[in-house]
Amino acid sequence: MKKMRWVGWSKGERAALLLLLVVLAGCGTPLPPQVIVVGDVPATGQEARQPDAEHPVYYFPLAVGFKEVGAIVAGEKPPQKNDVSHALAVALAKRHYLVMNAVHAPEQLLVFWWGSMNPQIENFGSNDPADQVFFNEREMLALVGAYKAGGMGWKSGDLRTAARDDRYFVIVMAFDFAEARQHRKKLLWMTKMSTESVGTDLSSVIPALITSGGPAFGRDTTPDWIDSGKPQKEERVILGPTEIKEYLPADKKAADPKRPPP
């Protein structure tokens, strides 16, 4: 379970919060996580096609894995990489993004990473909020999509508040595969899913993060809070274990007869 940091809290505030947590602990089953989801499609991805059941997009998966960003909190237990990769493959397949195979070459390179991102806030011993320095404010605001909050009214303030919470996240980034083979980065789309991490652990919330983010895969969306406890209409998809193999164009395979088939 994620531990709580007390930077900037007075003794009275700590005692009040601990009392509240004790009361909540006796209220039964914890509430499902509220997930903030934001999808980005930059100018470089405007022409990327949207897949459908008849015309799926095939991709090469690259799982970066677990990352801790910002203030480090002891006791983090990363989930198994294969478990997260498989859950992402299932969620992507429901949106018609399929793992490449011997018949279908990849069109996109999908990069997955997940972990914790925590604010680095220093008050230098002062109780005056004006004296606080938010060292990684830009990164935290980007995670929750606060840069897209113009015209969102009260949600804009809520996003800035969420950016000051310790958060668990899953991020999917899609690049043009042909460009990536030439060592050039052409970002097509990115989906960010995050939830407050206090009182839970990453392995427990990973399924909610991935399921909540599915509708934003490949799309540009405004930040939204998703109640992961509400059922979503999903297509049934069954995938075998994800297997990653080296991909070579047919002409290069033919040029090297000693290379065994993938």
Structure tokens given for 259: 């290379």
Residues 152-207 have pLDDT tens digits of 887 889 999 999 999 999 999 999 999 999 999 999 999 999 999 988 999 999 99
Q: What pLDDT, on the 0 to 100 scale, is given for residue 251?
A: 47
Interatomic CA distance for residues 122 and 129, integer angstroms: 10
Please count the other Cβ atoms lying within 10 Å of the Cβ belonging to residue 136: 18
Confidence (pLDDT) at 159: 95
**What pLDDT sits at residue 124?**
83
- Whole-number pLDDT of residue 153: 80
Residue 244, pLDDT score: 45
> What is the Cα–Cα distance from 84 to 170, expressed in whole angstroms?
10
Q: Where are the domains of the chain?
A: 11-255
> Which residue ranges in the chain fall short of pLDDT 70?
1-30, 232-262
Determine the pLDDT at residue 141: 96
- Indicate yes or no: pTM above 0.85: no
Instruction: Return the closest-CA partner of residue 219 out of 16, 48, 27.
Output: 48
pLDDT at residue 261, as a whole number: 42
Greatest Cα pair distance, the chain, in angstroms, is 74
